[in-house]
């Protein structure tokens, strides 16, 4: 093989390798941004769940202080949904939150 052919092969190999490296880096960066988006969505849902549960707690405390017959958990949640137009996703129940933390 002549030197010109060897140089052309080396240049072509370098260009291919550079393309592969750039594509691999782009994939890793894309996954990082995708993970951040998913975490932001989960955070948003968790904050809404906290807001709902605080309203449930408020209703429960009001009922407990004002009425001798305390309503059950599902009744209180139903009242919170109706009064405050909030909903509980259930995604962060105690067992699911424990899995998420671990």
Each residue's pLDDT tens digit in the chain (102 positions)? 688 888 888 888 888 998 999 899 988 888 888 888 888 888 888 888 888 888 887 777 776 665 555 567 777 778 888 888 888 777 777 777 777 666
Burial class (CB in 10 A: 0-12, 13-18, 19+), 98: exposed
Three-class SS of residue 59?
helix
pLDDT on residue 29: 86
pLDDT on residue 44: 84
Q: Where are the domains of the chain?
A: 3-101
Give alpha helix (H) positions in 1-102.
3-66, 73-84, 94-101
pLDDT on residue 91: 78
Please state, as a whole number, how many other Cβ atoms lie within 10 Å of the Cβ of residue 54.
13
């Amino acid at each position: 093989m002549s030197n010109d052919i060897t140089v052309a092969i080396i240049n072509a190999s370098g260009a291919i390798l550079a393309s592969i490296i750039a594509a691999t880096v782009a994939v890793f960066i894309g996954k990082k941004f995708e993970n951040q988006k998913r975490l932001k969505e989960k955070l948003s849902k968790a904050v809404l769940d906290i807001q709902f549960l605080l309203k449930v707690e408020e209703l429960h405390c009001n009922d407990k202080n004002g009425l001798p017959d305390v309503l059950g958990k599902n009744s209180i949640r139903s009242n919170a949904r109706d009064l405050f137009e909030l909903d509980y996703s259930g995604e962060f129940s105690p067992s699911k939150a424990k899995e998420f933390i671990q």
